[in-house]
Structure formats: structure tokens, C-alpha cells
Amino acid sequence: MATAFHHLSDYDPTTVPSAEGMRFGIVVSEWNGEVTGALLEGAHDTLVRHGAREADITVLTVPGSFELVYGASRMLRTQRFDAVIAIGCVIRGDTPHFDYICQGTTEGLARLNVEGQAPVIYGLLTCNDMEQAEMRSGGMLGNKGDECAVTAIKMVDYTRRLG
């Protein structure tokens, strides 16, 4: 039985508001840099394609995925961004380290969202192997970075509509 794959980068661009005038922070993990670099490229290109100016996109790196929480938190404190996109990639290994990093990062980013300073977009790939990560960062399944950028634009628009 063949498995049907959903291409993560498939979306209707007419449903995405203009990103003109929106300011985005992107915090990216250096760990698994080939993957996170591709995710960053996807997010950045999608933001620009939908009207964000280069000057309104700030990219900063942190050493690993666990540090995404601190990086996003510091970006939010500046109050310079309408949304922050957190990009990382954790590959399962032979120890429980994977579980701790994924759980801690997920809970930390969720907490930042609840605090409500600005939307924090979850762009952490949690994969069993490098092949899965590559398929989601520009491979057969598209680029999760694209999806994160679209989500960021929609969440900024949502926030603005609330007033």
C-alpha cells in the first residue's frame, strides 16, 4: 500500500494576508544546521514573497533547540516583533536526551505563547532520523519553514483584527 504524503508547502496563497508592515523575529538553532538553514530559507523566502521587507525580518541564532525558548523570549522582550518564529531540529538518538529536549522546548515555547506578548511559531522538527528531517526541510514533504512563515503572517493578522 503506497503512503500518500502531504506536501507541507502546499497552501493557497490567496488565503494569506499581506505581510507588508509586519515585523518578524526568527530564532534558529545552529544544531543540525543543514536542516535548520533550509527551514530558515523557506521561512524567510515565504515572508518576503508575501510582502515582508528585508528590514522587517531579524534572524538570530542560538546553539541548540533547547535555547530556542530563551532566544524567543529575549526577542519578545524587545517588543520589536509582531511574531517570532522558532526554528530547530532534534534527531532521535540512543538516549532519552531527545525526549527531554523536545519536551522542554515545546513546553517553553507554548508558555511564551500563553503569555501573549506576540505569537511564537513552533518550527521545531522532532524526527526519528535525518531522512525525515530532510524530507521536511525542502525534500519530498516540502519545507516546514514555509508553513511557519504562513502561520506567523496569519497570526499577526489575527492579532491586528482583535485590535
Domain of 138, CATH number, reads 3.40.50.960
CA-based angle 66:105:67, to the nearest 5?
Answer: 25
Residue 11 in domain: no
R_g over Cα of the chain: 15
**What's the CA gap between 36 and 160, in Å, rounded?**
29
Say yes or no to pLDDT of 2 above 60: no
32 pLDDT tier (thresholds 50, 70, 90): very high
Query: Does 50 qualify as catalytic in the annotation?
Result: no
Alpha helices by DSSP H, 18-143: 33-49, 68-77, 97-115, 130-135
- 11-34: b (≥16 Cβ within 10 Å) or e: eeeeebbebeebbbbbbbbebbee
**What's the CA gap between 90 and 162, in Å, rounded?**
35
Supply φ then ψ for residue 103, to 5 degrees.
-65, -45
For residue 116, the model assigns a pLDDT of 85
Tell me, yes or no, if the pTM score tops 0.85: yes
Mean pLDDT computed over 125-141: 95
Instruction: Please tell me the number of Cα atoms within 13 Å of 63 on its side-chain side.
Output: 2
For residue 3, the model assigns a pLDDT of 57
**What's the CA gap between 77 and 115, in Å, rounded?**
11
- Name the residue range of residue 76's domain: 24-162
Say yes or no to pLDDT of 157 above 70: yes
Q: How many structural domains is the chain composed of?
A: 1
Say yes or no to pLDDT of 24 above 80: yes
The single residue of 6, 7, 50, 97 carrying the catalytic annotation is: 97
Residue 45 in domain: yes
Residue 54 in domain: yes
Cα–Cα distances in angstroms (integers) from residue 48 to residues 118, 129, 132, in the given order:
20, 31, 27
Say yes or no to pLDDT of 77 above 80: yes
